[in-house]
Each structure stands twice: as C-alpha cells, then as structure tokens.
Amino acid sequence: MKILFSILLSISIIQAQYITKEIKFEGLTQISKKIALEKLNIKIGEEYTSSQINTSLKDFYKFNYFKNIEIFDNNGTLILIFTEKPFIVNLEMTGYKTRDDDLKDIFSAMNIKKGNMYTKEKIKKSKNILLEELKKEGYINSVVEVEIENINDQGVSVKFNINKGAEVIIKKVNYIGAKELSNEHFEENTANKQEDLISWWFGQNDGVMQFSQLEYDNHRIKDIYLQNGYLDAKVSSAFSQIDFNTNSAVIDFSISEGQQYLINNITIYTDEKIVPLKELKEDLKEIKGKVFNISKLRKDVEYLRTKIANKGYAFTQVNYDIRKNKKEATADIIFNIIPGEKVYINDVIIAGNNRTLDRVIRRNIYLAPKDLFNLTDFKDSKNALNRTGFFNSVKVKQKKVSKTLMDLIVTVKEAPTGNLILGGGYGSYDGWMINASVNDKNIFGSGLDLGFSLEHSSKKDTATISLKNPAINDGIYNGSLSIYKNSSLIEADDTSTSGDETTDTIGGSVGVGRTLTRHSRIGIIYALEQQDVQYTKDFSLNNSYTTSSLTPYINFNNTDNYYIARKGISTGTSLKYVGLGGDAQYIQSSNYFKYFYGLEDKIDYDIIFRYKTSIKVMYDHGEIPTGTTYYLGGPSSVRGYQSYAFQPEDNAAPFKKLFTNTIELSFPLIPKAKMRWSLFYDYGMAGETNFGDIKKSGKGISINWYSPVGPLQFIFADAINPDTNDKTSNFEFSLGSSF
C-alpha cells in the first residue's frame, strides 16, 4: 500500500506533460546517479508524462532499497527524494556460538552481516537457516527470538537469542547383516556413533546425533567395505527411530557384504616416453595377490598423476577400471593415463594477506612465472606456507589460462602470530615447571621471529631473548641472535663428597645458515658464555669460566609430520669448537639420526617403526670446565633409570663419550585424542675414554598424548639387569618432549 500511495501522490502532483530543465536526487546512497538516471529514463530538455514517472517509480522500488520515494516538479526541476531502508549496524548472538571465528562462520551461513540492508524478509530467512543449522548439530525443537533495536533513522541492531533444544542421543546403532566386519570398523569413520559408557571422557563417543551427516554415513560404511575388498557390498540408508520423550534414538543400517576380492592383474596404459612403465609400477600400493583396497587405489591414482605431472603435464588425468571375476573372487585393475599438454606457470597471484608481505609468501612458493609445472613443487609450496605458522588456512589453486599456461591462485587466511603463553607441568625429575613466553613470529608481516621466554622448575631456571630471520633478504640464508641466562641444579647422593652442583650461565649467540636443498640446512653459530660452577660441600671445586665457541652444523629433515612422523629421516651433525679466547678449550662432536617407517600400507594397521641414535664425543683441547660432562639415564637416553643416574664420581674426569639408541613400535590408542602407545627398547653407553665404560639398557611401554599444551609422555619402564646400587625408575612423566 505504501508503494501505491507514493505513486498516486506523485501522479497527482505532476501534470500531464512538463519539460525537464534539471533533475535532482536526495537521500540516494545505494545506487549511483548514473544508474538512477537510467531508471528514471527522462532526459533534460525533453517532455515527460505521468506514465513515465509511474514506470520509473516501479523500477526504483524493485531494488528493494527504499521504503518511500517522493517526486516533485519545481518549475521544471524534477526532484526525487528517497527514504532508504535502514542498515544492520550491529549483529549479535546469544545462547549458541561465542568464538569470533565461529560467529563469522554461522553468520556467513545465515547470509547476513553488518552493512546489509535490514528487511523483515531477510531476518526471517536468516532465522530459518539458523534453525536448520541447529537441527543439523543435533538440537531439536530449538527456539530463536530476534530483537530489533533502532539505533537511528539509518541503522538497526539485530540480536538472535537462541534457546537450544535438547540433543538427540544415539543409544544403539545396529549394523544388520554385518558378519565379516565389526562395529569398531564402522565407528572409526561414521559421524553418528553409539553413545559410549563413559561418554564424557576424551576420545569417547558422546552419541549426539548429527542430522546433517546421517545421509552420508551409509556411504562411509560402504567405503570401509571397499577398503577391505568387498566390492559387491551394499549398505542401505540410515533408518532412525527417535523417541522425543527421552530424546534418544536407535539407528539401523541394512548391509549385504558379498565376497572379498583379491587383486589379480594391474595394467597401466601410458606414454612410456614420459615415464617408463617399470618406474611407474615401483611404488604402487595395490599389489597382486593382496586384498583389494579402494583407499590404496586412490593413492595409486594420485601417485601416477604426480609422476606424470612432475614432468610438466599439469592437467594429467588418471582413469581406472575395476574388472571383477566373481567366480575366482579376483579383480583386475586397469589404469589409463592421459597426460595432455606440458603446462608452464603464467602468473602467481596472492590474496588474503592483509598483514604478511607478498615477498614473505612468495619465498615459500617453489613455482614462479615461466616455470614448468611440477606437482610435487605445487604440493610442497602449500606445505611450506603451512609450516610458517603465519596462516590459519592456505589454498593454492590452479587456474587454466590456456592449454599450455596456468595461473597459481594463492589465498591465505592470516592467523594471529603474536602469543602470550603461560603454562606449567610436572616432570618426574624436574618436578613442577612453570613457563611463560611472549613472541611474534611474523613481526609487521616481515617473517621475523622475536621472542622472550622464562622457565622455572626445582632443577632449572632459564630466560631467553631471541630474534630469528628464516630468509635474509628473502634468500637462501637465515640468521639468529639470542641472549640467555640459565641456572641448573644436579643433586648429589648421600655418598658424595662434593655435594650438589649448581651451574649459572649467562651468554649470547649469533648464527647464520644457508638452505642447501628443500630439506637440508647448513650453518654456523658463535656463542660467548660466562659460567659459574659451585658445589655445596667441596668449595675447592668452585670455578668460573669464559666459554667462546664456534659451532658449524648441517641438518636434514624430510619427515612428514613434526609430532607423529610416519615416514622420513631426520639427521644432523655439528662440531662445537670451544677455545676462541675463553678459559675453556675443548671440541664437542654431536650427531643424531632418526628414522620413521609406517607399516600401515604393508599390514593394514597403523603401526610406526621408529629408530633413533645419538653419538656425542668431547675432545680435551686444553681445559674442560668442571661440571661439563655427559650423563646417562632418563627419558632422553635410557629409560628405566633416573635422569642423570650415571655421571662421573667426585673429582673424576668427565664422561667424554656418549652413545644412545632407541627402537620403538608405536600403536594407535585413541586416535581422535591423538593418543598413542609404544613398546620401546633403549640402549646406551658412556665413558671417559671408552664408550663402553658404562653400558645400560631398558625396556617398557610409553603412552604419548599430543595434547593442546604440548606432547605428554607417561613412561612405564624396567631397567634390564641393573646393578645393586643403580638408581632405577619405573615411572617417568614429562611434558614437551617428543621422539
């Protein structure tokens, strides 16, 4: 009625025909003057009619921006006065999401944000979307009330007040017809799971029904069968029975398993001029005679595509066909590789980096304009950007420009890189630990890392200020500076004549390094320290040393994960030369090697074989300070013995040689909680002139939890053939250490 009233009012004001001398718009912000003139369709110097005005008004109202429009003619000057609908200037939500990121996501799903024009229709649609989102998360019969507050003539505040309905709890899931596979197989992958007995404990199933995922769970179950060779398996859609009186549910899946298939032949059709067929077959996951596994088949498709795409064929297609022989219960796999044309990089376009400089991002991208496309470089670029810690998300997309050219579109979502961390923990040797740190690893978006940290325990106090540049001038060189102060205590036993040993160290270091390859680094560090060593009983041993050292090093690391590596090697060596003008004079050689191998592809179970070894040697070059020695025992060397259990006796020469190695088999415990358990065997040697002066070994079980506050280890160990006076330890607990 308002629209009709405005039109009739305008028509009554305007006479049949007028010549337009001038046109004015008032109160118009949503559309430009140019667009308004086009919609008005009246030109200066020409006559207009009431019919033209009527049509123009209708066109303006179709924008849905205006609640009223008035038109006047003042002696040939046509004046249009617009009253626009208000804008949403404030948007709130109570009773549901609280974190800023979560609120952004839900408002985005509701298709509403600050700055939108307010209409009742828009609010109604957003409310309905919100109710659907609540239902998808398992909240039924939720109530959403919307408060609208007028801020001024041009703005309103919108608040969604939510009273979440009760969650539906799944009390039972029936897999009718499942004989060869058990419930445990399905619950690892399905979204809707039966409530566990202790549902509130981490890693346990709370049983909350996920309505939005219910239609996909049967496909997930079928995929599990395909991973176990049951190519004929059929799984019905979920049938759910909900009791709204108790808000509980029972879900049924009807399953027809069929027979299990073994792989017979694997055939690959390809152009051997690009990559020889023999080379393509070397690392296929699917193997003749093994049970068919759709997951391995997908990996093989990606593997074949990568091998060809690494030669520049970016748009390679790998098609496959599975030919079943039901009588023999075997399957043939046929791959057909279509390489297409060689593709070069046209441009690298970066978006989303409001803070981080373009050059910081580009130095982590291994493809540049005019480069021949390489799929490994493409994937490694994304991994390198993720490893910086500068971004919450990284997306690298290929945009086809022509048959032989593509653009790389790098879209990042920046993360807060400044941190204030307060934490603590307990270690069986160090006791209670408190730590605090302030750092920003991306100062002003430059990629520089500045940090300050403090740590306190009953055995150790440390304070460090550091500055690191991972790529000086965005090149292959890196640099570091640090200033630190440490204090450590080693408690002596009752038989000691020297007493407890306290070492206070203050010093600083400067380092420079160079990238050799994508996985290797080389560098050198200079450090200057003042060290004071004091004993509580034998004061004659007290001493002060100035230590000036130079340490060249080289490291290699191609592991696939920092905490839970399943493949790769991490190794390094360094040679610390002490004696550049200071009191202490000695050389220290340190070498380590770690190897990781996941057995899942071989035995279809997530077991990880892990091995590490370390060799350290000190060479006396004039004077080794009192208290400078190697120690044996504890979580970092041989478990089953106390930390620092084996050390030189009073006034004895320091241990100058140390060898340790560990073999572990790591098994999943609670995958969702990132918990694993391991069987381990440790062996170590230490001595003053020979490695074998002291030989110790231990075995046991460790539980590893990669928690939000860092890696936690619970170690249950036994010393193997300990001597009578050895300081053994059957339980260790530590925070912050990893394999």
Confidence of residue 19 (pLDDT cuts 50, 70, 90): confident
Average pLDDT of the segment spanning 408-424 = 70
Crossing angle for the helix pair 375-387 and 294-309, to the nearest 10 degrees: 110
Beta-carbon contacts of residue 675 (< 8 Å; ≥ 6 apart) = 203, 668, 669, 703, 704, 705, 706
Domains and CATH numbers, the chain: 2-84 (3.10.20.310), 87-163 (3.10.20.310), 169-256 (3.10.20.310), 262-338 (3.10.20.310), 344-414 (3.10.20.310), 495-735 (2.40.160.50)
Q: What is the pTM of this model?
A: 0.57
Range scoring the smallest mean pLDDT among 13-17, 87-91, 610-614: 13-17
Range scoring the smallest mean pLDDT among 177-186, 399-408, 425-434: 425-434
* pLDDT value at 439 more than 70: no
| Location of structure tokens 């609120």 | 103
* pLDDT value at 7 more than 60: no
Average pLDDT of the segment spanning 302-308 = 93
pLDDT value at residue 371: 93
pLDDT value at residue 421: 52
CA distances from 736 to 1, 230, 350, 376, 739 (A): 70, 43, 36, 32, 10
pLDDT value at residue 409: 92
Please say whether the beta carbons of 32 and 63 come within 8 A: no
pLDDT value at residue 11: 40
Please say whether the beta carbons of 314 and 283 come within 8 A: no
* pLDDT value at 191 more than 60: yes
* pLDDT value at 436 more than 70: no
Average pLDDT of the segment spanning 617-626 = 86
Average pLDDT of the segment spanning 295-321 = 93
* pLDDT value at 309 more than 90: yes
pLDDT value at residue 4: 39
The amino acid at 615: I
**Cβ count within 10 A of residue 41:** 12
Highest mean pLDDT among 114-123, 403-412, 450-459: 403-412
Confidence of residue 45 (pLDDT cuts 50, 70, 90): confident
pLDDT value at residue 17: 56
Say how far apart CA 123 and CA 598 lie, in whole Å: 52
pLDDT value at residue 10: 43
Please say whether the beta carbons of 541 and 535 come within 8 A: yes
Please say whether the beta carbons of 125 and 191 come within 8 A: no
Confidence of residue 708 (pLDDT cuts 50, 70, 90): low
Structure tokens at 383: 């991994």
Structure tokens at 359: 């050059």
pLDDT value at residue 710: 57
* pLDDT value at 555 more than 90: yes
Structure tokens at 404: 């032989």
* pLDDT value at 202 more than 70: no
Average pLDDT of the segment spanning 692-716 = 84
pLDDT value at residue 254: 95
pLDDT digits (tens, 9 = 90+) for 233-259: 999 999 989 888 888 999 999 999 999
* pLDDT value at 300 more than 80: yes
Structure tokens at 333: 């796999």
Output the average pLDDT for the chain: 84
Say how far apart CA 510 and CA 167 lie, in whole Å: 57
Range scoring the smallest mean pLDDT among 143-152, 421-430, 670-679: 421-430
Average pLDDT of the segment spanning 223-237 = 95
pLDDT value at residue 2: 38
Task: Return the CA Rg of the chain.
Answer: 35
pLDDT value at residue 562: 64
**Cβ count within 10 A of residue 339:** 21
